[in-house]
Amino acid sequence: MHPGAALRRQGRGGERHGQYRHHHHLHYNLSEVINGLAGNDTINARGGNDLITPGNGNDFVTGGPGADAYLLDFKPKKNSNVDHITDFQPGIDEFRLDKSVFKKLKLGDLGKKAFFAAKKANEAHDGNDRIVVDRKSGECFYDSDGMGGKNAKLFAILDTGAKGIGHDDFVVVA
Ligand SMILES: [Ca+2]
Ligand SMILES: [Ca+2]
Ligand SMILES: [Ca+2]
């Protein structure tokens, strides 16, 4: 079975029965809340503005058309919890980082100074950097203490690369 088939899909987009002669195919464009399971999921949210929470595991997530949000609320782990986003669109899609996991980030929009992106970047380059992105590989790291002794942790990989991504593509949520 395709692993995505096991996912619970919640939220419905106003389907109406019998009220209108012209049936609107709203189901092609639903905005949904999609929760992954504990394991490695393959998720395709398709059309609509979706909120996708892949959960624990190495998940492969496709937001599809629409402005999609990826809520990460599990501790990143090198071998067991790094998520691939196959079609991240900077300026349209966004990461929502849960403060219970990304503890050293301030709630709200990620500040400019807390973000660092460059080719082959994989760790902070000053004391303020917390989110680091390798523009070439699309790897996204969380560096909890900036340029301190703790290693940056890989939490996501943007499979289409990270050319246009900026601090404003990240929001820290409670
Ligand atoms: Ca998962
Ligand atoms: Ca995951
Ligand atoms: Ca979508």
Does residue 166 surpass a pLDDT of 80? yes
Would you state the pLDDT for residue 30?
A: 67
Is residue 5 very low, low, confident or very high in pLDDT (cuts 50, 70, 90)? very low
For residue 140, give Cα distances in angstroms to 17, 34, 160. 44, 22, 13
Ligand nearest to the CA of 28: 3
Does residue 84 surpass a pLDDT of 50? yes
Would you state the pLDDT for residue 3?
A: 43
Dist CA 86 CA 50 (whole Å): 15
121-160: per-residue pLDDT in tens?
Answer: 999 999 999 999 999 999 999 999 999 889 999 999 999 9
CA triplet 32, 36, 37: central angle to 5 degrees? 145
As residues whose CB is below 5 A from the ion ligand 3, the structure lists 45, 50, 63-64, 66, 68
Would you state the pLDDT for residue 110?
A: 98
Would you state the pLDDT for residue 32?
A: 85
98-117: per-residue pLDDT in tens?
Answer: 999 999 999 999 999 999 99
Ligand nearest to the CA of 50: 3
Q: How far is the CA of 52 from the centre of ligand 3 (A)?
A: 9
Which of 11-20, 42-51, 135-144 shows the lowest per-residue confidence on average (mean pLDDT)? 11-20
Is residue 174 very low, low, confident or very high in pLDDT (cuts 50, 70, 90)? very high
Is residue 27 very low, low, confident or very high in pLDDT (cuts 50, 70, 90)? very low
Q: What is the CA radius of gyration of the chain?
A: 17
Dist CA 114 CA 92 (whole Å): 20
Q: How far is the CA of 162 from the centre of ligand 1 (A)?
A: 22
Displacement of CA 13 from its chain's centroid (Å): 22
Q: How far is the CA of 156 from the centre of ligand 1 (A)?
A: 13
